[in-house]
Structure 1
């Protein structure tokens, strides 16, 4: 909550669509699944809260965890709920973020996309390309294999949205604390870009205590957990060095640490490295 961004074109609580984007009182973002301005709905939002903590959990406060980029500001565009989500709402979510930058001048450098599923969608490809035209990186989870929970080769069997051909996508595989590729992680020497920590990641989650929602922490695993490390690194790099989406992507891949477990399995042959920023 401390690092939640605010829509500069919207006034809170007046029941008016001040910025004319079609969403009333979307101060902190929009819930496309519930069609309301509440991007946080309690303990069921543990996945997104965990991801957000990895990107930008407040550091230096002596508690919990610190995100990769402590002072980042985060908007929420939610399209997944208890019963899943739709590609149509995914498109709306991507376009919502692009609009924040193109019409309101928000310094939006990347979106984190810890989700996947479904077949190829031209509409979603086009939405990601509109983000590309706005100089926004689309950092996406490579996926966690199939029913057997064993990572698959995305070059052979595409995983969307990470496998779209848009040049602003950074597709992320998962590694363990020892640098080994996580067994569940998808890979692809042509279609997955870089590895990042995704096994047993400790981060923020909402918990229930005495009828109230309180801050908590838990360990999760998945390429969903690896992806926000890269999204946070993108924000950190942009804050320190600036650059376009293309130059930042080149820097993220070019500074990766060569890692034997990823050699020949991802484009960069390595894992995320923020020490050179």
Structure 2
């Protein structure tokens, strides 16, 4: 997995990491305590140094806030108030501040002020058809296979002409993704409420020309910035690589629309930007775009109330939050992994299995905190290759729970395409109820089984 920083929580910001991978390289995530507010977990988390996210109680005057910040020695860095916060009745938002002291030292001082509802570090997160596509025909795509009993059985669905729908959208919260890739361009979604290139915020979400999504790390409309966006591109290919085109790979769904919310950069991603990314897709859903789910192949940091609240806003809008269980080989029931351990009902937490049905050596698990297993070891998918000046379409094999997660996101898209109007709860139930019992997952996840889309 790669590392992500959160603008919302200071001391924990540097501890959030991508749940997935470098090529042939498995990274681990920080362990977390079973207590969501465990200081041991948060103390070990990566955070943005000298930053805090502060939530003031309703009704606190501007002068009082200024007084408190002055006593803390804090400087305002950003007021985070998304459209979705306002729609939920929160007109206060969250305040990101810079401090002259370490985040955890500052946290203890915030307890002296009754006007503060909560304060937290700005955590850092990191990554964790019959087809004529070459990587399928040569057997590389075992995760899609019906010949391998431990694959997702997507090939069985393809054979029954169940290949997805362009009316279904999946949001990729990750790095950017290469929407011009030869195996992705046909499935690259656009924001229908925005007019490209006119420099105007047509849809009123505060972002200009967010046609393919938005880069919250760079604060611009460029959702693909080169070969460094390999993780997000790999995830995209597993969800919706174009099938039957004689090129490369095939995703779980051959027809789908993908949109990007880039919040992971070269140093990872922050809580602050994760919140904005989640709210971005919630806003599009409320506006009428059929956002079925977001794929979240990242993790790290400690408990964030602000991020949990954002996930709940997505839940209220009917958007699934499908996320990686983590790569720390640990029991998430005992040692919490975020965001997969949040209690929101729209979360599906995904463990990784191998091509022989075993729980991947790196994969975290949890009888009550992880929902299902899916292919995550040696997964071939799309990546950008070349140099900064010359980027071309390529393919690579990665491993991680980051790779397992998009199999489930693709499954959500497939079910939604076959059952228009299905609610998020119905889609989640269908995915979990269709899981195939698997010995390596018995007692290791809620279903005790692995992803199987053949009966959708």
Distance in 2 (CA, whole Å) between partners of 1:245 and 1:263 is: 26
| CA displacement at 1:85 relative to structure 2 | 1.3
Residue of structure 1 in register with 2:188 after alignment: 4
Selected match of 2:310 from 127, 131, 135: 127
Partner of 1:74, secondary structure, is: strand
1:79-137 per-residue CA deviation (whole Å, 9 max, x = no partner) reads: 0100111101000000000000102x101110000000111101100100000001110
1:135-166 per-residue CA deviation (whole Å, 9 max, x = no partner) reads: 11000000000xxxxx1000111100011000
1:188-225 per-residue CA deviation (whole Å, 9 max, x = no partner) reads: 00000000000000000000169410000000000000
1:213-252 residue pairs with structure 2 within 5 A? 213-242=391-420, 243-252=422-431
Partner of 1:184, secondary structure, is: coil
Name which structure has the greater RCO, CA cutoff 8 Å, separation 6+.
2
Residue of structure 2 in register with 1:148 after alignment: none
**2:441 aligned with 1:262, yes or no?**
yes
**2:404 aligned with 1:205, yes or no?**
no
Which has more strand, going by share of residues?
A: 2
Distance in 2 (CA, whole Å) between partners of 1:2 and 1:50 is: 16
Residue of structure 1 in register with 2:158 after alignment: none
The gaps in structure 1 that reach 5 residues or longer are 146-150
Residue of structure 2 in register with 1:174 after alignment: 352
Moved more, 220-229 or 6-15: 6-15
Runs of 4+ in 1 over 2 A off after TM superposition: none
After superposition, the CA RMSD in angstroms is: 0.9
1:165-184 per-residue CA deviation (whole Å, 9 max, x = no partner) reads: 00000000000011110010
- TM-score, normalised with respect to structure 1: 0.96
Distance in 1 (CA, whole Å) between partners of 2:395 and 2:241 is: 11
Q: Please tell me whether Structure 1 or Structure 2 has the larger radius of gyration of its CA atoms.
A: 2
1:250-271 per-residue CA deviation (whole Å, 9 max, x = no partner) reads: 1101000000000000000000
- TM-score, normalised with respect to structure 2: 0.59
The gaps in structure 2 that reach 5 residues or longer are 1-184
1:78-157 residue pairs with structure 2 within 5 A? 78-103=262-287, 105-145=288-328, 151-157=329-335
Q: Number of aligned pairs?
A: 271
Contact 2:226 2:388 in 1 (8 A): no
Distance in 1 (CA, whole Å) between partners of 2:233 and 2:312 is: 27
